[in-house]
Structure 1
Amino acid sequence: MNFKKLSEQYKTELLENVLPFWLEKSLDREHGGYFTCLDREGKVFDTDKFIWLQAREVYMFSSLYNKIEKNQAWLDAADHGAAFLLERGHDGNFNWYFSLDVEGNPLTEPYNIFSYTFATIAFGQLNLATGNQLYADVAMKTFDIIRSKVDNPKGKWNKAVPGSRALKNFALPMILCNLALEIEHLLPKSLLDQLIEDCLHEVLEVFYRPELGGIIIENVCLDGELSDTFDGRVVNPGHAIEAMWFIMDLGVRLQREDLIQKAVNITLNMLEYGWDKKYGGIFYFMDRSGHPPQQLEWDQKLWWVHMETLISLIKGYQLTGSQECLVWFEKVHNYTWAHFKDVEYPEWYGYLNRQGEVLLSLKGGKWKGCFHVPRALYQCWRTLEDIAQKDLIVHVV
């Protein structure tokens, strides 16, 4: 495998295809913020604005400004989105809405905790890029709200009947593993250490279940017990694998080889578990007991699942030399580039059917924006570059 050539492939795709697409097509110059509902050619097909994607795009341009080069166009794009978020994205007390109309009028109440988490990393990275204390204050105020909502993320918008079946979800501790490092420069050491410890406990001791064959499940009872219900049986292989590169990054920071190796082992286990052996690609949802999943889209192949898997696999090889990671990386790389990359128009497809055919030709929508594709291209580029520089050339037959 030619790591230098692969590194250039990911770098070129990021800098010459994906980022220019979002810079050119997504900025709303009239009302502020970004358009994310973009068709195959990048034309706007819906003007609603979703806080997840607004914040993710601010984060992406800020982060790449910090990590690649001081590109003023990237910083301007981040500032553009941040101004809209500050003015229209929350209720005045940094409770972040879920969706807005084109002018920024709220459509959906601030029930979704991930609007808060993505706002936190967006303003944290923008503070790092600019030194503007306002952005640091926004990130920390939002982070404090997240901490206050951990036990009941939806707050008064929780639809569950009080005292009924109560479950906790894997997504929040998973996201916090990444958030901890994204705003590390803003956190007191004691708070950061405690956050990391709590996240590692939740991911590796609560949601990771050795007794189920070493898989990670999406929901458990509040006491950590298993729930034999639709929600309690659901497995999302992409979520689990994405979390593992967060754990690897924490393992590097903490100088804990045991964490890194465990994350690699779980990555490989979840990939073997979730791989569609008939058509290739990774299933979106599965039922841990083999029952019919409740999600009708369970067998679709999604962009973010495969992009995040590429990151975990190449980091796993970089950090441990695992040949199994390398073999799987080549397999997932070939599938991903063959099926998700649009060879005629910029940016990548997001949704395939089980057979790997394009299901929706959009380049952005309510859930897909300027985030998973550019982040994965960056992470793979830099990791492959590091491997190439260390002359770790391995040929996979």
Structure 2
Amino acid sequence: MDFEQLAKQYKGELLDNVLPFWLDFSQDKEYGGYFTCLERDGRVFDTDKFIWLQGREVWMVAMLYNKVEKRKEWLDCAVQGGEFLKKYGHDGDYNWYFALDRQGRPLVEPYNIFSYTFATMAFGQLSLATGDAGYAEIARKTFDKIQTKLDNPKGKWNKAYPGTRNLKNFALPMILCNLALEIEHLLGEDYLKKCMEVCIHEVMDVFYRPELGIVVENVTVEGELSDTFEGRSVNPGHAIEAMWFIMDLGVRLKRPELVEKAKDIALKMVKYGWDEKYDGIFYFMDRLGHPQQQLEWDQKLWWVHIETMISMLKGYQLTGSEECLEWFKRVHDYVWTHFKDPECPEWFGYLNRRGEVLLSLKGGKWKGCFHVPRGLYQCWQVLEKLK
């Protein structure tokens, strides 16, 4: 495998195609923040602004400014998005709304904890890019809010009736694994270590089930399996993405055994989720093989495959696993022939089971300036080390 050529491919796609797409089409020059609902060619088709996607774009552009090149247009893009979030994104007490209209008026109350996590990431990176202590303070205060919500992430907006079926979801401990490293510069060493250990325990000892060989999406608050729609749900992409977060933590903590275990689980999950008939990775599965409640269960989504490429590459780089390299090649081939748009920049997000484009959009309510550019950046960085 020509790692040097691949590194050029991923770097070029990021810096020449994908990032310019977002810089050119997503910035709202009139009201601030970003448009995320973008047609195939970049035309805006809806002007609502979703806080977690606003935060993701601030983080993405600020991170590239911090780690790749000090380009003024990148910093300007990140700062204007950060200022919009600072002014309109929360209720004054760092409870972050889910959605705003174009002008910044709240549309959806602060029920979604991922608005908080991506605001924390955004202002953490922005504080590094600008040296602005005010941004660091927003990140710290928001992170403190997250800590108070861990037992009930949706708070008073939780639709579940209390006490009957108390389940906890994999997405939060998974994202906190990444968030802890993201704001490492804002946390004390002891607190950071404690945070990391709690996240690792939740992901690797609670949601990963050695008796099944897979990671499940929901368990009871006691950490037991639940034979319900939610309890049987498996999201291979979530699990595989979490494993590269765990690999990063294993490197940070100098725990090679943790890296090895994460690599093994990532391999189990890609094999488990792979569609042998049409290729690609299923979005949702039922661990007992029952029909699923998610009607989109068999769709092939951009982020699932991009995160898998990152995990497989890191698994190969850190452990030398040839099996990881083979899977990277397989998923790389699928991604570049199915998700990359041959005519316009940025990538398609939603394919049907057969790999045909379902939606031609490049951004929407759930897809923004995040998984594609972050994945290209991560793969490029690993490939540079493998050259």
TM over 0.5, shorter chain = yes
Query: Following TM superposition, by how much is the alpha carbon of 1:163 offset from its aligned partner in structure 2, in angstroms?
Result: 1.5
Query: In the aligned structure 1, how far is the partner of 2:313 from the partner of 2:71?
Result: 27
Letter in 2 for 1:138: I
TM-score of the aligned structures, taking structure 2 as reference length: 1.00
Aligned to 2:11: 11
Aligned to 1:394: none
Query: Following TM superposition, by how much is the alpha carbon of 1:160 offset from its aligned partner in structure 2, in angstroms?
Result: 1.1
> Which whole-Å deviations, capped at 9, do the CAs of 1:244-274 have from their partners, x for residues lacking one?
0000000111111101000100010000000
SS at match of 1:211: coil
SS at match of 1:220: strand
SS at match of 1:289: coil
TM-score of the aligned structures, taking structure 1 as reference length: 0.97
Q: Give me the identity figure in percent.
A: 72
Aligned to 1:346: 345
Aligned to 1:219: 218
SS at match of 1:96: coil
Query: In the aligned structure 1, how far is the partner of 2:163 from the partner of 2:197?
Result: 29
Equivalent residues in 2 for 1:1-397 (5 A)? 1-212=1-212, 214-388=213-387
Aligned-residue CA RMSD (Å): 0.4
Query: In the aligned structure 2, how far is the partner of 1:170 from the partner of 1:239?
Result: 8
Query: In the aligned structure 1, how far is the partner of 2:95 from the partner of 2:202?
Result: 25
Letter in 2 for 1:379: Q
Letter in 2 for 1:14: L
Q: How many residues align?
A: 387
Aligned to 1:392: none
Query: Following TM superposition, by how much is the alpha carbon of 1:52 offset from its aligned partner in structure 2, in angstroms?
Result: 0.8
Query: In the aligned structure 2, how far is the partner of 1:220 from the partner of 1:116?
Result: 23
Query: Following TM superposition, by how much is the alpha carbon of 1:51 offset from its aligned partner in structure 2, in angstroms?
Result: 0.4
Query: Following TM superposition, by how much is the alpha carbon of 1:161 offset from its aligned partner in structure 2, in angstroms?
Result: 1.1
> Which whole-Å deviations, capped at 9, do the CAs of 1:93-123 have from their partners, x for residues lacking one?
0000000111111110000000000000000
Letter in 1 for 2:190: S
Query: Following TM superposition, by how much is the alpha carbon of 1:234 offset from its aligned partner in structure 2, in angstroms?
Result: 0.1
Query: In the aligned structure 1, how far is the partner of 2:298 from the partner of 2:108?
Result: 29
SS at match of 1:279: coil
Query: In the aligned structure 1, how far is the partner of 2:163 from the partner of 2:239?
Result: 29
Letter in 2 for 1:48: D
Query: In the aligned structure 2, how far is the partner of 1:200 from the partner of 1:83?
Result: 33
Letter in 2 for 1:272: K
> Which whole-Å deviations, capped at 9, do the CAs of 1:74-105 have from their partners, x for residues lacking one?
11000010010011100010000000111111
Query: Following TM superposition, by how much is the alpha carbon of 1:164 offset from its aligned partner in structure 2, in angstroms?
Result: 1.5
SS at match of 2:366: coil
Letter in 1 for 2:301: L
Query: In the aligned structure 2, how far is the partner of 1:309 from the partner of 1:160?
Result: 32
Aligned to 1:393: none
> Which whole-Å deviations, capped at 9, do the CAs of 1:126-168 have from their partners, x for residues lacking one?
1011110000000000000000000000111111112121100
Query: In the aligned structure 2, how far is the partner of 1:332 from the partner of 1:151?
Result: 36
User: Unaligned stretches of 5+ in structure 2?
Assistant: none
